[in-house]
Amino acid sequence: MKLLLVLAAPVALAGCATLPSPALIPQQQSDGLSRAEIGETVLVNGPRVTPLSVLEDSRCPMNARCVWAGRVRLKVRIDLGSGSQDRELTQGEPVQVADGTLELVEVQPDAPATNEAPLKPGDYRFGFRFMGGL
């Protein structure tokens, strides 16, 4: 009985030791985007990006006619080999990061209809793309 426990423990530990850290697992989808929720770190083709908070979500509600489509601004932490920095990203506006550009490409879900409750931070999911330099 003791022999069985001794053999089972190294096997269980070996399985745990070989798993990569969740923060380092590439989460890029077939569409080229890496997606994350608030507080979740995702590898975006080089830099690691963690959405920290939604600064603005002024997108036009689904059932409304708007003169301006609105925008989403997001505070993120960007981790590079040289350190980390907090930056602001606006959907559709790439920003210079290291030798390339990082862009907030997608925000889900769509803006709620005017008669629906506003989105909570945990409702959001963000799609990022990093285009590296040469």
- At 16-62, the pLDDT tens digits run 444 344 444 445 566 789 999 999 999 998 899 999 999 999 999 87
pTM (predicted TM-score): 0.75
According to the model, what pLDDT value does residue 132 have?
Answer: 83
User: pLDDT-based confidence at 6, cuts 50/70/90?
Assistant: very low
Question: Which phi and psi angles does 21 have, rounded to 5°?
Answer: -65, 135
Closest by CA position to 106, among listed 28, 24, 48, 47: 28
Q: Is 38 helix (H, G, I), strand (E, B) or coil?
A: coil
Q: Which of 103, 130, 115 is nearest to 44 (CA)?
A: 130
- Asked if 105 and 28 count as a contact pair (C-beta separation under 8 A), the reply is no
Residue 22 is predicted with a pLDDT of 46
Confidence of residue 84 (pLDDT cuts 50, 70, 90): very high
Note whether 107 and 121 are within 8 A (CB).
no
